[in-house]
Structure 1
Amino acid sequence: MSAKAIGYNRPSHAAYFALTIATLALIINFWAWSLLSPLGARYASELSLNPLSLSLLLAVPVIVGSLGRILLGIITDKFGGRIVFAVTCLLAMIPVIALAFSDTYSQLILVAIFLGIGGAAFVVGIPFVSAWFPPEKRGLVLGIYSMGNTGTAVSGFLTPRLDGAIGRQWTYYLVASLLFVMAIVFIVWGRNAPGWKPPKGSSFKRFASAAKSRITWDLATVYVITFGAFVAFGVYLPVLLKVSYGLSLTDAASRAAGFVLLATLARPVGGWLADKVGGKHVIRIVLIAVVVLAMFVALQPTLQLRTTIAYLSLAFALGCGNGAVFALVGKLSKPDIMGSVTGIVGACGGLGGFLPPLILGFTYQKTHSYSIALMMLALGALTAFFYINKRFQDLSTYKAR
């Protein structure tokens, strides 16, 4: 139930508090989800991992976090965001602590599976935050919430530095402690929107309704490209920059963190633009931009200013696309199935980020170049553009959106 529906002319202070704690919780969960990526090169050196083995290790949390979004979306529709966010933070602590005691490849793979909990947390906040705000504000608001993805950038920037300053174990203990704090915040001060009640009927029927919606799969198609590429670059860009341009691990991780940060900051811009000019127009422009920019970086130019601008422009485009997708989710989804819709769309986007790191590792192992994998991104974005452009024209629901 939206803030408008329950009688608010404008969002209350409680609404903005809910937005704030949800965003902070997402930042910490995404930090936990992304702990392996900034240290990937060090683990590869310590355990003598080949590029494909490292790619698999980095990809495991992505696929688990993606599939977990479906389940968490269903659970959030049933129990509400407050309790689900608290429990998710507590569960995400376990693999983070276990990571401190993992020193073999098999142990890391096992822990990586459960690190996916942090990545699944994203879907909890979409219905939780949406319920506090009227539809005309949801694009911007959900874009702000989605800035919780900066947890990936925080991980890229802080994790290698903390590893050097206080050691790997204490770095993991710190992240686990922050997750515990956020769980307490939700338990003690968190509230669902006024008037929220658990929906009646079967959770399976609500999920089936979301799964049958054409809107769900149209937006999932776009999100596979925009969020999938965002996740893939967030996970693999430190390795790509280190290998392609000879950067130090810290420098490569910092540049990758900048990519993730810009993409995340662009999400509310995409949401705001979707509110103003329509999400479908934003998505069209984004996909064309991804095609052009991915083709340019696929040429693997020398690390000059134009290369940096190209990568940052790609980050901005992906972020705007992500924001526009969930602006449409917030506007077009029924409140009682919004968690399920978010779960499906989010899962597809996350799965879109699972294969690219593997492809990057495999193609580099075979060709000593990342060009083929980057050209595949351009081809995927072009295919998505032609598909979704036709869907926007055919589906009356998208009119004036």
Structure 2
Amino acid sequence: MSNYHKFNLFSFHGKMKILHISWLAFFITFMVWFNFAPLLQAVKTSLGLTTEQIKTLLILNVALTIPARVVVGMLTDRYGPRLVYSLLLVLCAIPCFVFAFSTTFMQAAIARFALGFIGAGFVIGIRLVSEWFPHHELGTAEGIYGGWGNFGSAAAAFTLPTLALWFGGDDGWRYAMAVTGGLSVIFGVIFYWTVTDTPKGATYYKSHHVGAMEVTSRGDLWLLTIMKIPMYAAMGLLVWKLSSPAIGMLSTDISYGIYIALVGLYLFDIKQLWRANQQMLIKPVPAIHRYSFRQVAVLNVLYFTTFGSELAVVSMLPLFFADIFTLTPVMAGVVASSYAFMNLVSRPGGGWLSDRFGRKSTLLILTAGLAIGYLLMANINASWPLWSAVLAAMICSFFVQSGEGAVFAVVPLIKRRMTGQIAGMTGAYGNVGAVCYLTILSVVEYSTFFVIIALTAILGFVALLALQEPSGTMAEINDDGSVTLIDVS
């Protein structure tokens, strides 16, 4: 076997080149998406913002990502990762620049809301990597893509404050943020000229519908209709937080108007969904072309718990350590970073374990470990030595992020031409989880917060029992009507 085909992390040829270019693209999207948090104090001072306005910007930063991941997944399946990722990197630099040079809260708020779209970049790479790697390497490859790309947020935290100081002056933060936007544009061009959607000679299977997900049974259509509700409910929850007296960005009338609009969008979405699948309702889909949406639903629930809890915990962990152990903000931030650092090895590790020991069994073990990890964190108090609390956070983090890697070791093995849409919905559920957990955190104690996450992990474990281990082949139809069988086990 030539080096071109081996899984060699130090290679930059063939499929390995695609993997490295992909995780770098994802890394840059996360760097741009989370360039605000490390420069938060400078932004607050420069724009004369209140603490509540800063909190509003943090909420707006993730608000658009839920629908964006679904939309971008559909576009990826239809037009290919090369074009969609390149456009996303270039176009999302615009709100990055607008935020960097904004002078009012409203300008900053609109730009931050629009920047939530870049959080959908993750979905594109999932489809691209799945085109280049065989099933027995797919979990490892997707884990490296997700774990190393995810580290872009930590890279922003480490480098941007230093960069702002290097530029100097009151506007140093502006130039530091603008640098991330410039990187996004440059890499968008590089991505377009160095990537192809598939290996030479392979077919890129496109989804049949851009506006709605395709299912293959009546029961799955009803299940998908139900699974869309939490996504709209989470956006409603964000509206509720923005209209709360503490933030007060939206008036009561405007918030009610948005609630009505969300209900209308949901009904329109369901109408499109049933219209796209009407042929299936009339004539059953041949067995060879069917897939089980139940698989997707289970993965949604698991990603709600894994990535949803990661986003929520990363947001609150510095404050948690500062409060429990009376640490300075800087020390608390350093200690809490141990949780995020695990991403570099945990997520690829979860994918590798799935490749070696089976998708379902790996997920069952990791989900059980996740529940135990959060129950452990619920018991942390001031009597614990600080090192033991950090160790507990790292153990919990291992199971959380390995679980994320294991989830996306399964996603590309369900239906090839719909991988972007499936990844988009599962990825969106991670953001839904974050919104729900952070809302819960605002009304309960730390220990209760961790216990609630553990309980949802137990629910995820029960749901996992309904997951079918990917096996055999999945079928895709070529343009000439012939059928290609793709190995999934």
Task: Give the TM-score of the pair, scaled to structure 1.
Answer: 0.86
Measure, in 1, the Cα distance between the counterparts of 2:79 and 2:377: 44
The one-letter amino acid of 2:417's match is D
* Residues 1:276 and 2:371 aligned together: no
The one-letter amino acid of 2:121's match is A
Measure, in 1, the Cα distance between the counterparts of 2:322 and 2:107: 25
The one-character-per-residue Cα deviations of 1:278-327 (angstroms, maximum 9, x if unpaired) are 12222222222222222232234236111000111111111110010011
Measure, in 2, the Cα distance between the counterparts of 1:106 and 1:47: 11
**Alignment-derived partner of residue 267 in structure 1:** 347
| Greater alpha carbon shift after TM alignment, 10-19 vs 351-360 | 10-19
**Alignment-derived partner of residue 80 in structure 2:** 80
Structure 2: which 5+ runs fail to align?
A: 225-291, 473-487
| Greater alpha carbon shift after TM alignment, 280-289 vs 96-105 | 96-105
1:397, distance to aligned residue in structure 2 (A): 5.1
Measure, in 2, the Cα distance between the counterparts of 1:54 and 1:297: 28
Structure 1: which 5+ runs fail to align?
A: 1-7, 364-368
Measure, in 2, the Cα distance between the counterparts of 1:232 and 1:63: 14
1:181, distance to aligned residue in structure 2 (A): 1.6
* Residues 1:370 and 2:458 aligned together: no
Taking the TM superposition and a 5 Å limit, the aligned residue runs for 1:159-238 are 159-166=160-167, 167-193=172-198, 194=200, 195-197=202-204, 199=206, 201-204=208-211, 206-208=213-215, 211=224, 213-238=293-318
**Alignment-derived partner of residue 251 in structure 1:** 331
Contact 2:139 2:409 in 1 (8 A): yes
Distance 1:42 1:225, change over 3 A: farther
SS of residue in 1 equivalent to 2:151: helix
The one-letter amino acid of 1:48's match is T
SS of residue in 1 equivalent to 2:136: helix
* Residues 1:304 and 2:386 aligned together: yes
The one-letter amino acid of 1:318's match is V
Measure, in 1, the Cα distance between the counterparts of 2:189 and 2:335: 33
Distance 1:354 1:57, change over 3 A: farther
Distance 1:260 1:79, change over 3 A: same
Measure, in 2, the Cα distance between the counterparts of 1:360 and 1:160: 28
Contact 1:63 1:351 in 2 (8 A): no
Distance 1:290 1:105, change over 3 A: farther
Measure, in 1, the Cα distance between the counterparts of 2:440 and 2:156: 23
The one-character-per-residue Cα deviations of 1:35-68 (angstroms, maximum 9, x if unpaired) are 2333446667863325xx6555323322322321
Task: Give the TM-score of the pair, scaled to structure 2.
Answer: 0.72
RMSD, aligned CA = 2.7
Measure, in 2, the Cα distance between the counterparts of 1:207 and 1:261: 37
Measure, in 2, the Cα distance between the counterparts of 1:288 and 1:160: 38
The one-letter amino acid of 1:304's match is L
1:271, distance to aligned residue in structure 2 (A): 0.4
Measure, in 2, the Cα distance between the counterparts of 1:66 and 1:243: 31
The one-letter amino acid of 1:174's match is V
1:238, distance to aligned residue in structure 2 (A): 3.5
* Residues 1:31 and 2:23 aligned together: no
Measure, in 1, the Cα distance between the counterparts of 2:91 and 2:333: 27
Distance 1:386 1:206, change over 3 A: closer
**Alignment-derived partner of residue 246 in structure 2:** none
Q: Give the alignment partner of residue 461 of structure 2, picking from 372, 382, 385.
A: 385
**Alignment-derived partner of residue 94 in structure 1:** 94
**Alignment-derived partner of residue 153 in structure 1:** 154
Measure, in 1, the Cα distance between the counterparts of 2:29 and 2:306: 20
Measure, in 2, the Cα distance between the counterparts of 1:103 and 1:294: 42
* Residues 1:326 and 2:333 aligned together: no
Measure, in 1, the Cα distance between the counterparts of 2:32 and 2:120: 11
Contact 1:40 1:58 in 2 (8 A): no
Contact 2:130 2:138 in 1 (8 A): yes
**Alignment-derived partner of residue 5 in structure 1:** none
The one-letter amino acid of 1:169's match is R
Contact 2:206 2:418 in 1 (8 A): no
Measure, in 1, the Cα distance between the counterparts of 2:367 and 2:394: 15
Contact 1:69 1:344 in 2 (8 A): yes
- Percent sequence identity is 27
Q: Give the alignment partner of residue 341 of structure 1, picking from 411, 416, 422.
A: 422
Measure, in 2, the Cα distance between the counterparts of 1:191 and 1:383: 40
Contact 1:90 1:179 in 2 (8 A): yes
The one-character-per-residue Cα deviations of 1:92-127 (angstroms, maximum 9, x if unpaired) are 212221222345544443222112122110000011
1:205, distance to aligned residue in structure 2 (A): 5.7
Distance 1:225 1:265, change over 3 A: same
Measure, in 2, the Cα distance between the counterparts of 1:235 and 1:207: 35
Contact 1:282 1:320 in 2 (8 A): no
Contact 1:280 1:398 in 2 (8 A): no
Measure, in 2, the Cα distance between the counterparts of 1:68 and 1:137: 28
The one-character-per-residue Cα deviations of 1:149-205 (angstroms, maximum 9, x if unpaired) are 111211232233334443211110111111112111112222221323462633246
Measure, in 2, the Cα distance between the counterparts of 1:71 and 1:244: 41
Distance 1:379 1:136, change over 3 A: same
The one-letter amino acid of 1:295's match is L
**Alignment-derived partner of residue 140 in structure 2:** 140
1:228, distance to aligned residue in structure 2 (A): 0.6
* Residues 1:313 and 2:315 aligned together: no
Distance 1:362 1:102, change over 3 A: farther
Q: How many residues align?
A: 383
Runs of 4+ in 1 over 6 A off after TM superposition: 398-401
Taking the TM superposition and a 5 Å limit, the aligned residue runs for 1:55-66 are 55-66=55-66
- Identify, as 1 or 2, the structure richer in helix: 1
Contact 1:37 1:236 in 2 (8 A): no
Measure, in 2, the Cα distance between the counterparts of 1:245 and 1:67: 38
Measure, in 2, the Cα distance between the counterparts of 1:242 and 1:34: 22
SS of residue in 1 equivalent to 2:132: coil
Choose 1 or 2 for highest CA Rg.
2
SS of residue in 1 equivalent to 2:203: coil
Measure, in 1, the Cα distance between the counterparts of 2:419 and 2:113: 26
**Alignment-derived partner of residue 124 in structure 2:** 124
1:344, distance to aligned residue in structure 2 (A): 0.7
| Greater alpha carbon shift after TM alignment, 247-256 vs 150-159 | 247-256
Distance 1:129 1:80, change over 3 A: same
